[in-house]
Each structure stands twice: as structure tokens, then as C-alpha cells.
Amino acid sequence: MAVAVNGHFVDTTLQLGMPETGPFKFFAKAGLMLWRLNYEAAASNGFQTVSVSDDDTGVALRTGLGMSYQISDRVRLRADWDLLLNVGDEDETGETDINVFSVGPEFRF
């Protein structure tokens, strides 16, 4: 059996930050994420192949926290945590919360 899931997301987020205190900057995020998931599954018994596909769309609330550390005037090291609430369809595909943790550089121009 083979299963494939493809997703497309549009994120709208408001980021609120505290004034910089030394090299550190802290912020909070809130917004909405519009999502569309495409599911495809196929199973074969050697003689016959059966395939099923479905689409699912929705809106999820999102929130998050983060901080950045100033390395130089133009470069900061940034760490974020994002929480996406109730992604998926409770009846068909299952509904879940998604946690995303990320660390990376932030460049200022």
C-alpha cells in the first residue's frame, strides 16, 4: 500500500516584539493559517489495484514565541516555536496540533 500526502499552506501572522534589551529580542506571534491537503492511497493484491484520493481544506489558529540574539549589526541568531492548532479534519483525516521548532540566522538590510 502506498500513501502520499501533499500540503499547501498560507500563513498570516502578526508578530509583536518587546524593545530590545541588550543583544536579546523577545517576541510573540499570533495569526491564521489556511491549509489544503491532498491525499492519495493505492493498494494492490497482485491482480487488481485500488486507489483513493481526497482533498481537505481549512483554517487553523497559530501562535508562537521566539527570541533572537544580535551577533552583529546585520546578523541575528533566531529561535522560534510555532504552534498550529487543529490542523486536519476530525471526521475524515484526523485532527492534530503541529509544533514547529526552528533555529537559524536572521539577516537585516
CA-based R_g, the chain, Å: 20
Per-residue confidence (pLDDT) for residue 79, from 0 to 100:
97
Q: What is the pTM of this model?
A: 0.68
Per-residue confidence (pLDDT) for residue 69, from 0 to 100:
95
Per-residue confidence (pLDDT) for residue 92, from 0 to 100:
63
Per-residue confidence (pLDDT) for residue 62, from 0 to 100:
92
Q: Which domains does the chain have, with CATH numbers?
A: 2-107 (2.40.160.20)
DSSP states of 75-100 as a string? Answer: EEEEEEEEEEEEEEETTTTEEEEEEE
Per-residue confidence (pLDDT) for residue 106, from 0 to 100:
93
pLDDT tens sequence for the chain (109 residues) = 777 888 888 989 999 998 877 899 999 999 998 888 888 888 888 788 888 888 878 888 999 999 999 999 999 999 999 998 887 667 766 778 889 999 999 998 8
Residue 56, strand partner residues: 37
Q: 493484491: which residue's cell?
A: 45
- Written as nine digits, the cell of 51 is 486507489
Amino acid at 33: M
Give Cβ neighbours of residue 9 (< 8 Å, ≥ 6 apart). Answer: 33, 34, 35, 36
